[in-house]
Chain A
């Protein structure tokens, strides 16, 4: 985690309680999860209660209160992906990683997520690793893709 960058984000919003979500989004993007002590410092800096920070941080799906793996693997569960074979793709990815959606492996290699919809339905079903899209994925191709991420 880069303490300086997080501190800079917290400082940017000091004294602005209305900017809680903005600050959380930036910290999440930077650090990939929200440690408790960071949330406490953010609450103090913005002048909101810790419980309010937790309400927001635990409500929205984007925020993670637990550490994530080095690589975020996302299988789109949107309607078109569903109609075009996302279930089989997800089953294969679960088998390869040994994870269910929301889990991180013991080596912190992968975090598996599902969710809808990323809007590139024309290339369904889709696998996204660290933001890079892999369209029209077959279960076999997914195996090759995941091998590239250590």
Chain B
């Protein structure tokens, strides 16, 4: 089908009506997940088996097949969801395919492939009955099983680009900005900074040339929700970006993401091309007079390039060294022009805020953190995967109701948030709510949203050593305190884990963590000591046990 450029909002709505008229909601659809984890479990073979089976029986008229982005329940991949009814099949193998096809045609369920409660054996057939899903509020990720990320029509069929239409036809740029400000949308990338204020700074900057950027770098270890979002539903992120550019008055956008995920690159490239063909990007979008070009850029393998000023240097084609931010990047960013950068999840929130309004958005979440949050749940957890819950949800819900607790029947020792610059808190604090400010106060800031469970066997000194080892390899080396301070902390921590601790090592670590934080330009160095600080706050005895007691004639290698 050749695509036609849409010249007005009315033409878009006509197209949407035609797409919907061509679809029968009662026709069964089998959606095979091709998210990162399912793909790693060879979901491609499952999808191929479905295609072969439908071809063999010539079922094209009676059955729809769809390859989609991440459904969420990565632990039990390859995932298959059958609609209507959202019947969830887990750990599907190619050999299961004929049975699923036969049952689907008869309106039946393949009992052996649905979820069964590990304790009682009771089955859960539909998505809203599966424990992993039923405690979630899937506003952002929920469309993933309904969309083939390569097909813009699938996004239009679930109401996609309606928010853009509303913004361009019914709202002025100022009204769009005001809506986002009133929604109190806070940046999902780690800082929790109000997106509306950031937009306003760029909008009000005197330079006429302005840029908008999607930060899809996702360098935080054990964070994979942004990839799930951007790979699985690229148009939602793009729609948010276009609306933001309209509010800010930007003429050019950049998507900055990972180079090492072939599917991510393919989907984003395709989404940009399709949006352009439909006239949702380019000159005079939907006849509104507003124009925007968006290009794709890649990180090439260093964590610090996720830092905003470093990321912008990288887009310019330079080495990603952060710069001092006496002047914010929202005022002087790429090529010294005002550049508004938000993370994937932040942009993905924009369309629903415009469609449903700030009042609706602020009705979800906690007092100061609104909306939902995507969480990558992994570590020693039973049910790992991509989770979406309202802000303010108790951590206990995430860990036990959704996560199913700790693997192998062990007990929970700690949870860790925020990757290598985050923090660990003990299991006793599990009733704390998921909230930007509250979690920061506890010493485990949410960061981008990577949540790890650590079981009773976890050696907290070794965890700190591991995180420091990661960061020393990722420092760009510009600031000496970061480059050298972390190296010294790593050496000291390594000594402790190898049983060669010395008197004064803990004090030395505390000093180094403090000085490295004070003497570094960007968040990598500034927060490099944060995991260690949380360890000293909650797990100090474990560290003290590594220092040989002089009186007892310890065997540590002392000066």
A residues contacting B by CB (< 8 A) are: 17-22, 24-25, 55-56, 59-63, 77-80, 82-84, 115-124, 126, 131, 133-135
Q: Give the residue name and chain of the B residue nearest to A48 (CB).
A: B317
A122-B221 contact in complex given A18-B317, A79-B379, C-beta closer than 8 Å: no
Interface pairs (18), CB distance under 8 Å = A19-B317, A21-B297, A24-B300, A59-B302, A59-B320, A62-B260, A62-B301, A63-B300, A79-B379, A79-B467, A83-B380, A83-B454, A117-B220, A118-B36, A119-B261, A120-B37, A120-B224, A122-B384
**Interface residue? B458 (CB, 8 A):** yes
Docked complex Cα distance between A119 and B36 (Å) = 7
Query: Are A79 and B227 in touch, CB under 8 angstroms?
Result: no
**Interface residue? B75 (CB, 8 A):** yes
Chain B residues within an 8 Å CB radius of A120: 36-37, 39-40, 74, 224
A73 to B: closest C-beta gap in Å: 15
6 pairs of A and B residues whose beta carbons are closest in the complex: A122-B74, A119-B224, A133-B40, A61-B301, A62-B301, A121-B378
Interface size bucket, B side?
35 or more
Chain A residues within an 8 Å CB radius of B36: 118-120
Q: Identify the interface centre among B37, B376, B454: most chain A CB within 10 Å of its CB.
A: B37
Query: Are B452 and A117 in touch, CB under 8 angstroms?
Result: no
Chain B residues within an 8 Å CB radius of A84: 379-380
Query: Are A135 and B300 in touch, CB under 8 angstroms?
Result: no
Docked complex Cα distance between A21 and B317 (Å) = 6
Query: Are B384 and A79 in touch, CB under 8 angstroms?
Result: no
Query: Are A21 and B300 in touch, CB under 8 angstroms?
Result: yes
Docked complex Cα distance between A85 and B367 (Å) = 40
Chain A residues within an 8 Å CB radius of B360: none
Docked complex Cα distance between A55 and B313 (Å) = 13
Chain B residues within an 8 Å CB radius of A55: 319
Query: Are A121 and B300 in touch, CB under 8 angstroms?
Result: no
Q: Give the residue name and chain of the A residue nearest to B420 (CB).
A: A79
Docked complex Cα distance between A121 and B123 (Å) = 26
Q: Give the residue name and chain of the B residue nearest to A133 (CB).
A: B40
Chain A residues within an 8 Å CB radius of B41: 123, 135
**Interface residue? B316 (CB, 8 A):** yes
Chain A residues within an 8 Å CB radius of B37: 120-123, 135
Query: Are A121 and B224 in touch, CB under 8 angstroms?
Result: yes
Chain A residues within an 8 Å CB radius of B316: 18
Chain A residues within an 8 Å CB radius of B450: 79
Contact with A along B240-281 (1 / 0, CB 8 A): 000000000000000000011110000000000000000000
**Interface residue? B314 (CB, 8 A):** yes
Chain B residues within an 8 Å CB radius of A119: 36, 218, 223-224, 227, 261
Q: Give the residue name and chain of the A residue nearest to B76 (CB).
A: A122
Query: Are B40 and A79 in touch, CB under 8 angstroms?
Result: no
Docked complex Cα distance between A84 and B75 (Å) = 13
B residues contacting A by CB (< 8 A) are: 36-37, 39-41, 74-75, 77, 218, 220-224, 227, 259-262, 297-298, 300-302, 314, 316-320, 376, 378-380, 384-385, 416, 419-420, 450, 452, 454, 458, 466-467, 470, 476
Chain A residues within an 8 Å CB radius of B467: 79
A137 to B: closest C-beta gap in Å: 10
A79-B419 contact in complex given A117-B221, A121-B37, A123-B37, C-beta closer than 8 Å: yes
Q: Give the residue name and chain of the B residue nearest to A21 (CB).
A: B317
Docked complex Cα distance between A130 and B379 (Å) = 25
Docked complex Cα distance between A18 and B298 (Å) = 13
Query: Are B223 and A117 in touch, CB under 8 angstroms?
Result: yes
Chain B residues within an 8 Å CB radius of A77: 470
A56-B319 contact in complex given A78-B222, A117-B222, A123-B37, C-beta closer than 8 Å: yes
Docked complex Cα distance between A98 and B376 (Å) = 35
Q: Give the residue name and chain of the A residue nearest to B73 (CB).
A: A122
Question: Among the listed B261, B302, B318, B466, which residue makes an inter-chain contact with A79, where contact means beta carbons less than 8 Å apart?
Answer: B466
Chain B residues within an 8 Å CB radius of A82: 466
Docked complex Cα distance between A45 and B37 (Å) = 41
Chain A residues within an 8 Å CB radius of B466: 79, 82
Chain B residues within an 8 Å CB radius of A62: 259-260, 300-301
Query: Are B300 and A61 in touch, CB under 8 angstroms?
Result: yes
A131 to B: closest C-beta gap in Å: 7
Docked complex Cα distance between A41 and B379 (Å) = 46
Query: Are B458 and A83 in touch, CB under 8 angstroms?
Result: yes
A84 to B: closest C-beta gap in Å: 7
A80-B222 contact in complex given A24-B300, A121-B37, C-beta closer than 8 Å: yes
Docked complex Cα distance between A78 and B450 (Å) = 12
Chain B residues within an 8 Å CB radius of A24: 300
Chain B residues within an 8 Å CB radius of A20: 317
Chain B residues within an 8 Å CB radius of A83: 379-380, 452, 454, 458
Query: Are A21 and B39 in touch, CB under 8 angstroms?
Result: no
Query: Are A80 and B300 in touch, CB under 8 angstroms?
Result: no
Docked complex Cα distance between A62 and B305 (Å) = 13
Q: Give the residue name and chain of the A residue nearest to B261 (CB).
A: A119
Chain A residues within an 8 Å CB radius of B220: 117
Docked complex Cα distance between A24 and B260 (Å) = 14
Q: Give the residue name and chain of the B residue nearest to A18 (CB).
A: B317
Chain B residues within an 8 Å CB radius of A80: 222, 378-379, 384, 452
Docked complex Cα distance between A135 and B466 (Å) = 21
Chain B residues within an 8 Å CB radius of A59: 302, 319-320, 476
Chain B residues within an 8 Å CB radius of A115: 301
Docked complex Cα distance between A77 and B317 (Å) = 28
Q: Give the residue name and chain of the B residue nearest to A114 (CB).
A: B473
Q: Give the residue name and chain of the B residue nearest to A136 (CB).
A: B41
